[in-house]
Amino acid sequence: MDEKFDQTKVKKVPFLQLLKRIGPGIILAGVVIGPGNITTSAMLGSNYGYSMLWLIIPIAFMGITFMLATYRISMLTGTPIIHAIRNYYGKPAAVIVGLATFLSCLFFTMGNITGSGAGINLIFGMNWKLGSLIMIAIILACYFTKGVYSKVEKLITLCIFGMIVCFYATLVATGGPQWGELGKGLVTWKIADGSLTTALAYVSTNASITAGIYGTYLGAEKKWKKEDLFNGVMMADAIAHIVAVILISGAIVLVGAIVLHPTGTAITAPAQLGEMLVPFLGKAAPIVMGIALLAAGFSSLLGNTQRGMVLLAAGIDKPVQLESKFIRWGCLACIAFAAIICYSYNGSPTQLIFIANIATAVATPFGGFYVCRMLFRKDVNEGLKQPRVLQVCMIISYVFALIMTGSALVNYIPKFISSIIG
């Protein structure tokens, strides 16, 4: 650490400047809000009504904690997280974390491919596999153009805005939630009968250590400096990320609770997601939901595949620039592989989205372990006070995520594998 750096002399950035300096958190929100998130959120609302809304609170806690912990380590060490892991714990540790986070993103990509196809199916009635191939072609065109980061940032921002408008317009059309039940759902911390797996999937989707790790590489693309850790930029970016995530996923839960839960509808197919809007949009409902799925799949697929390749490249010490040949061609290979797995799946596309969504938790035990260790290192925090509050929050978040991950993987990974080979 630079001994001359004095955090007390860093001035806070004005609000309007903050808006220009943030960005990675917005990209990450678009990555997080994919078809898996929409499906899981809808399942949570339709199956359990308002009773599981309290999950929003640990999601906000964990999401901000993971983001701030990874951002802090990156800025103080001068390197993104996986590179920092290599410097402090050696190449094997970096390779393990790089592979784990890559696999997490690969599972996510499977869900995004399926979700994009499901969106086109709802809009045009086209077979979801053919629809996903069209989206893959568009995504690959984006990868092989210049100025990838700026394009990704703008496209994902538009998709996020569109999804917020879509679901909140639905809430307005329904007359809004039952506020008493909503308040009860936020303060009554209880796992509803049969909800554990869906709850774990919901939390793992919205609050992921992988998002924070990738954020440190996007921060490098954004040319963040150490001062941004103390001038409010990174705090604003982390808050923007989790607010966007909660605004969208929370609205979907509420729509599911208002529309589907009273009818006892259990979501097993993409068409049932469209039913959430039928009472208010009539025949247009499948199209609107299809656009939401398509936007979510597109935004998430666009950013997530890059995320996986960047983290893999970092782990095996390859170039991490978004426009490097390794990243571009690696994205092509990942999408091709993920598409083959998706097209080999024999079950419902909605169930595939859900299972792939749960499997993304594979990175948590590995990435979270080293982030925790580095956050407590005296040489990382040299010259600064130990961030005790952040350290405690990180331990709580990691333990919770670890328990969640173990449960999810034990229950669903075997089912996913058997569906592919069986």
The two tokens of residue 21 are 């300096």
pLDDT at 420 over 60: no
pLDDT of residue 422: 56
Q: How far apart are CA 20 and CA 223, in angstroms?
A: 12
Q: Which two tokens stand for residue 125?
A: 């009635």
pLDDT value at 116 more than 80: yes
- Strand segments (E) across 234-393: none
Q: Which helix (H) or strand (E) holds 312?
A: helix 285-315
Position 1 in a domain: no
The whole-angstrom separation of Cα 292 and Cα 154 is 17
Look at residue 411 in the predicted model and tell me its pLDDT: 66
Six token digits for residue 220: 């490098």
Token digits of residue 175: 């007359």
User: What does the block give as tokens for 163?
Assistant: 């999804």
pLDDT confidence of 241, banded at 50, 70, 90?
Answer: very high
111-124 mean pLDDT: 84
Residues 6+ apart with CB under 8 A from 385: none
Residue at 5 is within a domain: no
What confidence score (pLDDT) does residue 74 get?
A: 93
- Distance (Å, whole) CA 187 – CA 262: 21
pLDDT category at 417 given cuts 50, 70, 90 is low
194: left (phi over 0), alpha (psi -120 to 50) or beta: left
Check pLDDT > 90 for residue 65.
yes
Which pLDDT value is given to residue 108? Answer: 82
Express each pLDDT in 131-167 by its tens digit. 888 888 888 777 777 666 566 667 767 776 776 787 7
Question: Per the domain annotation, does 4 fall within a domain?
Answer: no
Find out whether 149 and 221 touch, Cβ atoms under 8 Å.
Answer: yes
Which of 253, 239, 241 has its CA nearest to residue 168?
253
What is the average pLDDT across 78-98? Answer: 94
How does DSSP classify residue 385? Answer: -
If pLDDT is split at 50, 70 and 90, which confidence band does 67 have? very high
Give pLDDT, residue 415. 63
Q: What is the mean pLDDT of residues 14-43?
A: 83
- Cα–Cα distance, 229 to 74 (Å, whole number): 10
pLDDT band at 48 (very low <50, low <70, confident <90, very high): very high
For the ranges 147-156, 172-181, 189-198, 281-290, the one whose mean pLDDT is highest: 172-181
Task: Give the domain extent around 357.
Answer: 12-421
- Using CA atoms, how far apart are residues 272 and 120, in angstroms rounded to an integer? 15
- Contacts (Cβ under 8 Å, ≥6 apart) of 250: 41, 53, 56
pLDDT tens, position by position, 264-307? 877 777 677 888 877 777 788 888 788 878 877 777 777 788 88
Residue pLDDT, tens place only, 299-324: 777 778 888 998 999 999 998 887 78
Residue 231: both structure tokens together: 């001038």
Checking if the pLDDT of 419 tops 70, the result is: no
Predicted local distance difference test score (pLDDT) of residue 413: 61
Residue 314 lies in a domain: yes
Q: Identify the top-confidence range among 59-73, 112-126, 190-204, 207-221.
A: 59-73
- CA–chain centroid gap for 47, Å, is 22
Is 3 within a domain? no
> Is the confidence at residue 1, as pLDDT, over 50?
no
- In this prediction, residues 163-192 reach a mean pLDDT of 86
| Residue 7 forms part of a structural domain | no
Closest alpha carbon to 66 in 392, 370, 368:
368
Q: Is residue 2 one of the residues assigned to a domain?
A: no
| Domain total in the chain | 1
For residue 151, give the amino acid letter.
Answer: K
Integer Cα distance of 295 and 293 in angstroms: 5
Residue 358: C-alpha distances to residues 3, 181, 282, 310, 328 (Å): 43, 28, 32, 21, 26
Which class for 269: exposed (0-12), middle (13-18), buried (19 or more C-beta within 10 A)?
Answer: middle
In a domain, 399, yes or no: yes
CA distances from 98 to 295, 299, 406 (A): 28, 23, 19
Contact 112, 118 (CB under 8 A): no
- Which residues have C-beta within 8 Å of that of residue 6, sequence separation ≥ 6? none
User: For position 216, which CATH number holds?
Assistant: 1.20.1740.10
pTM recorded for the entire structure:
0.84
What is the pLDDT at residue 129?
Answer: 86
